[in-house]
A and B are shown apart, each in its own frame.
Chain A
């Protein structure tokens, strides 16, 4: 049976990380997963709507979820932050349906006033990582691998919202997650463990507490390098912005050259399916991904 999802692209994959949009499309196509893009969806607020008001975060995201409900499909994210925000709103509202119907009525009243479908609580919010691990299955994924990434040492960087924003996680322990590492093993790569993999990348502070933010990112990159990583792999484009796009600035804050490539999750998996680096936008990163590709070629030639 074909897996189908209501695809929520998020802002960053349509902006500063187009290569994520590109690689999610390439990966899902190669796996025969069908994505129906939610063209009418909007930004989840990346955690800042709630700082304005809880009602704002709940209402805007109830609308996003309701768009997927209309299609009777699970909502697919490929960003830890979108997942944590929308996934948690879904948890909250499902609880409100039982415990606080008045609030639910307020949210749905606002939606109906704008001609939007009401929130029903009839679907799920799933990150691409969870779709791969839980729905597609790692055994099935292993069968699609045409190019083992043997010898490539990958350091996962999960993103806070994927681990701790929701009350219930389907596959992972929030303090010692394994699903990224299991995907690495499935495509033949070697997971590298380091403390920073479950920590904050510093992105939420980057616009106004730049130095603190970059020190945070720098510490994690240093640890990953010390643990022997050839690259970091992240399921979150906001983490990617701080770890990759700002890495030259991170280097100057901590006073050390780093040069660690940071891949998006679907880029890594798609490489193992034999999809070309160009089709995955690997040339678009700020930190060159060439060392990763060269290492893979070297290893393949042996």
Chain B
């Protein structure tokens, strides 16, 4: 069959090859929008117990290709020894999380074109940046977990920490109904955001608290924990809040670095969920004394008193627990002394001119909140 020039038959309605030609025209038009780009992939490779090294690969890809497409291309056409996890290719399974250009993300979600655009924007804001002609995309394994090989990390601690929050709806406190546990659409809706988690590990990989505190269960686990607390069918809310309030393994281990919210590919916003567990704990007047809780209550009280925080009182009340925690108080001694010597210690405190307004405002908010309890 001899193809006629396409432009003569762009909308040819006749059956004589017309449909075929129309299809061809459509494809060729859309393909022409894609310029194939030359790319460099710098991949941080490692075998267990050995030092990591960077290996560079060069390839051609379309802007719409995902990072995963490119990794597959490298593995299938250039280097079969490159190891990475993959499965669904569609932001569902959460297997292909890795560090792409400096932050954890799903390789199947991030597109080459967007990454190049991002790199160009950064380069444009940097004077005299040596921006090569071939854009270079850096891929590294996730953090906070040991590398098994190349981009594959050992996620055992991630799963163990999830298990530690008991991520199952507990119905032990109630009799099993004849048919099923019913929820209203509104009750179910409250679980949607946390339910979107695909356990990819991106948040855990970037969690700054995990880096210094191996006891902290991590953002993924606490997002799931809030999913349980918020579930109307769960009968263990009080025990859960007690557990998540305990020591530095639970919500108070979070340092609020915002990385989890920022990198989550599913907008689960783990730090928001951690905040909501904290709210539920703080709402209870019966929560046992801890410096973390005292820190929060004192802060609100000091703002009510002065509009701004009187930092002299903050130290005494939070760390010294109003002279009840002598060890805590003593720990402030050297700091206070050093600050005095340097003329840094705030000897005076000037309250805000709006402090009365602010106090009244906080009290009104508190009144509304207590009605909701």
Contacts and interface: CB of A to CB of B under 8 A. Distances in A.
B150 interface: no
B278 A53 contact: no
B352 A164 contact: no
A199 B208 contact: yes
B127 interface: yes
Contact of B355 (A42, A174, A209): A42
A165 B271 CA distance: 11
Among A116, A174, A175, A212, residue most surrounded by chain B Cβ atoms (within 10 Å) = A175
B125 interface: yes
Given A43-B308, A202-B212, A208-B292, A59 B258 contact: no
A40 B357 contact: yes
Interface residues of A, number: 75
Contacts of B213: 209, 212
Contacts of B335: 245-246, 249
Contacts of B318: 207-208
B211 interface: yes
Interface stretch (A222-230, A263-271, A279-287): A279-287
A185 B127 contact: yes
A199 B256 CA distance: 11
A215 B248 CA distance: 15
Nearest to B254: A204
Nearest to B343: A284
A76 B303 CA distance: 20
Interface in A196-227: 199-200, 202, 204-205, 207-210, 212-213, 215-216, 219
Interface in A10-44: 10-12, 14-19, 39-43
B344 A41 contact: no
A135 interface: no
A277 interface: no
Contact of A40 (B259, B339, B353, B364): B353
Nearest to B261: A164
A48 B364 contact: no
Contacts, number: 208
Given A176-B102, A209-B248, A181 B355 contact: no
A42 to B, nearest CB: 4
Contacts of A123: none
Contacts of B253: 205, 209, 212
A164 B212 contact: no
Among A19, A41, A205, residue most surrounded by chain B Cβ atoms (within 10 Å) = A205
A200 B255 contact: yes
A52 B281 CA distance: 9
Contact of B122 (A116, A176, A284): A176
Contact of A182 (B126, B295, B358): B126
A48 B308 contact: no
A19 B342 CA distance: 11
B121 interface: yes
Given A114-B364, A164-B257, A50 B275 contact: yes
Contacts of A208: 252, 290-292, 295, 318
Interface in B90-121: 101-103, 118, 121
A51 B258 contact: no
B362 A56 contact: yes
Contacts of A115: 357
A45 B300 CA distance: 8
A272 B74 CA distance: 49
Contact of A199 (B257, B275, B342, B354): B257
Interface string A155-182: 0000011011100000111111011011
Interface residues of B, number: 71
A30 B202 CA distance: 45
Nearest to B355: A42
B49 to A, nearest CB: 22
A96 interface: no
B126 A42 contact: no
B311 interface: yes
Interface in B103-159: 103, 118, 121-122, 125-127
A169 B149 CA distance: 35
B282 A116 contact: no
A18 B346 contact: yes
Among A176, A216, A285, residue most surrounded by chain B Cβ atoms (within 10 Å) = A176
Given A15-B346, A175-B102, A248 B291 contact: no
A11 B314 CA distance: 11
Interface string A104-138: 00100011011110000000000000000000000
Contact of A45 (B122, B299, B361, B364): B299
B125 A174 contact: no
A163 B295 CA distance: 25
A244 to B, nearest CB: 9
A68 interface: no
A51 B134 CA distance: 46
B357 A116 contact: yes
A175 B258 CA distance: 12
A202 B255 CA distance: 7
Contacts of B366: 56
Contacts of B77: none
Contacts of B257: 160, 164, 199-200
A79 to B, nearest CB: 12
B369 interface: yes
A255 B180 CA distance: 58
A39 B353 contact: yes
Given A15-B311, A19-B344, A110 B255 contact: no
B307 A175 contact: no
Among A51, A163, A199, residue most surrounded by chain B Cβ atoms (within 10 Å) = A51
Contacts of A18: 344, 346
13 contacts: A15-B310, A43-B299, A43-B307, A48-B299, A51-B282, A114-B361, A164-B261, A182-B125, A182-B127, A205-B253, A212-B253, A219-B212, A246-B335
Closest 4 CB pairs of A and B: A40-B354, A164-B258, A208-B291, A200-B257
